[in-house]
A and B are shown apart, each in its own frame.
Chain A
């Protein structure tokens, strides 16, 4: 398709380093890497729970390892960064209309953060009740 005399540089795999916008995009895509670590931790926890109390204590100690806490802290930050980007995309992908009027995008973003807070409160209730 390129003509004989034309010059057509191939996009190299480091293209995303050339612009701050692309770096932010790659950071957004990379949020799943620490997420996978956390999910694997949960899976290991599930199976240690099946193997008995001793094995479960071992998993709790593993979760206390400073390195594990550090990666999970990164996963927590990544999940909030993901939420921040994902909530902004939602009103653009699925613009909602209520009573014939377009719902303001900011309201939709705010509504989603409200959901995060509700889940946090629910989790606090689940894990802290009766302690």
Chain B
């Protein structure tokens, strides 16, 4: 039925299921967050308040603490920091492949590992903050 090309050798190694659904799922979730939540976060936190268009009291020490170290703050960390990190890691990994840079398995470890590490740092910081 099938011709004997490498594609049709049903050896387990050849037909191995990719682990990509995990990374693609995180990438997609992060992509939605990057598109829907991140623009507002950048606009207010990194542009309007630093430029003085909105009074800096909006991010006074006490206010920032009570906003971030709360349940909405945890949601903020999830949708504005952690998921976008995995989105970025995925695109950087595939970008490196597109530019023929590095080795695939190493790129994967460095990019997703970096996203996981920074996400863990954010969550540890949050945990220290609420205690």
A residues engaging B (CB < 8 A)?
A: 13, 16, 26, 29-33, 35-36, 38-43, 45-47, 49-50, 52-53, 56-57, 60, 63-64, 68-69, 72-73, 75-76, 79-80, 82-83, 86-87, 112, 115-116, 119-120, 122-124, 126-128, 131
A82 near B43: Cβ-Cβ < 8 Å? no
Inter-chain contact A82/B40, CB cutoff 8 Å: no
Establish whether residues B46 and A43, one from each chain, have CB atoms under 8 Å apart when the complex forms: no
**Number of chain B residues close to chain A: CB under 8 A:** 53
Task: Show the binding face of B for A, using Cβ within 8 Å.
Answer: 31-32, 34-51, 54-59, 61, 64-65, 67-68, 77, 80-81, 84-85, 87-88, 91-92, 94-95, 98-101, 118, 121-122, 125-126, 128-129
The 6 closest A-B pairs by CB, nearest first: A83-B35, A72-B46, A32-B88, A123-B40, A53-B61, A63-B50
Contact partners of A76 in chain B: CB under 8 A: 39, 42-43, 46-47
Contact of A73 among B40, B45, B47 (CB under 8 A): B47
Interface contact A30-B95, CB-CB below 8 Å? yes
Q: How far is the CA of A1 from the CA of B119 in the complex (A)?
A: 44
Nearest Cβ on chain B to A65's Cβ, whole angstroms: 8
